Amino acid sequence: MIAASHPSLGERFFYGDGSGTPLFTENETNTERLGQGPNRTPYTKEGIDNYVVQGRREAVNPDNQGTKAAVHYLLTVPAGESRTCVFG
């Protein structure tokens, strides 16, 4: 479960089936990569992409908190078949 809180929208919850890996990062620009000085956080907005696509495990917050979140599922889907992820 991922819980979110917003001052005017209230509490929101994202439930997965428990087999995925929760990923958290901040919605902060990677200023270091852009040559604009040091980052305010090590967990910049492209952290989830860096984790999933680049395999950079350090790109997401190990404390499972941040302003951006996702659940990473590894699925094997044979040719001609499909898989469904259901979230409640």
Instruction: Say which residue the tokens 């992409």 belong to.
Output: 49
pLDDT tens per residue across span 34-55: 999 999 999 999 999 999 999 9
Average pLDDT of the chain is 92
Buried b (16+ CB within 10 A) or exposed e, 44-81: bbbbbebbbeeeeeebbbeeeebebbbbeeeeeeeeee
- Domain spans of the chain? 2-72
**pTM tops 0.85, yes or no:** no
* Pairwise CA distance, residues 21 & 66, whole Å: 15
Q: Average pLDDT, stretch 15-38? A: 91
At 88 the pLDDT is: 61
All residues at 6 or more sequence positions from 11 whose CB lies less than 8 Å from its CB, including other chains = 3, 4, 5
